[in-house]
Amino acid sequence: MAVSIVPHDPHWSSVFADEAKALRIALGAAAIDIHHIGSTAIPGILAKPIIDILGVVSSLAATDQAAERMHTLGYDAKGENGIPGRRYFRKSDQRGNRTHHLHVFETGSPHIERHLAFRDFLIAHPGKAALYSEAKTVLAGVSPSRQAYQEGKEPLIAALEQEAIAWRRRHARLGEDAPR
């Protein structure tokens, strides 16, 4: 299946906000924070029109127990789906088009910092965001599958993540929040 990327839609932030409210209820007392991540959270870059969400919880066991409530919101539970310590959920519309990805981690997971640093770094560094967007454009045009597209992005994402984490930690050492 070919990958479709589209220009940034400012409406994505309100779609996320509405979904976050429903997720807080479904995840219950275990929900600590819910963040909009991924390309749809970064203004000005191309993205697959799928809202990526990071859920931070106090307990993955409580998240597992909330799977039925998540299902009533349209989410399919996929377990760790290749990343130990994660709970992954996917949501699709009535036509079968994927609309949301939810990545849930327990507080303290290094994956939380990785996702937030990447998002915040690209927002604060438009040139890096443009580089990432351009790479996605090229890969979407030449990748025969979603998997090939994902694998093609990995080296650039890994490099940008390392830069983003270092940037975030520099700001933390200075006692300031990383700019958004």
Report how far apart, in Å, the C-alpha atoms of 170 and of each of 94, 117, 132, 173 are: 45, 11, 22, 5
| Closest C-alpha to 104, from 40, 42, 34, 39 | 34
Instruction: Give the tokens for residue 176.
Output: 């300031």
Q: Which of 15, 50, 21 is nearest to 34 (CA)?
A: 21
Q: Would you state the pLDDT for residue 1?
A: 59
Question: For residue 138, what pLDDT is reported?
Answer: 94
CA atoms of 121 and 179, how far apart (whole Å): 8
Query: Given the structure tokens 């030449």, which residue do they identify?
Result: 142
Mean pLDDT per segment of 10 residues, for the chain of length 180 residues?
A: 88 98 96 97 96 98 95 97 97 95 97 97 97 95 90 96 96 72
Tokens 């996605």 correspond to 136
Tell me what pLDDT residue 177 has: 67
CA distance 8 to 1: 22
In CATH terms, the superfamily for domain 12-173 is Beta Polymerase, domain 2 (3.30.460.10)
What is the rounded distance in angstroms from the CA atom of residue 159 to the CA atom of residue 23?
31
Q: Let me know: does 83 contact 34? Beta carbons within 8 Å.
A: no
Domain edges within the chain: 12-173
> What's residue 74's pLDDT?
97
Q: What pLDDT is attached to residue 23?
A: 98
Q: Tell me how far apart the alpha carbons of residues 21 and 139 are, in angstroms, rounded to a whole number.
A: 34
Of 14, 82, 26, 96, the closest CA to residue 55 belongs to: 26
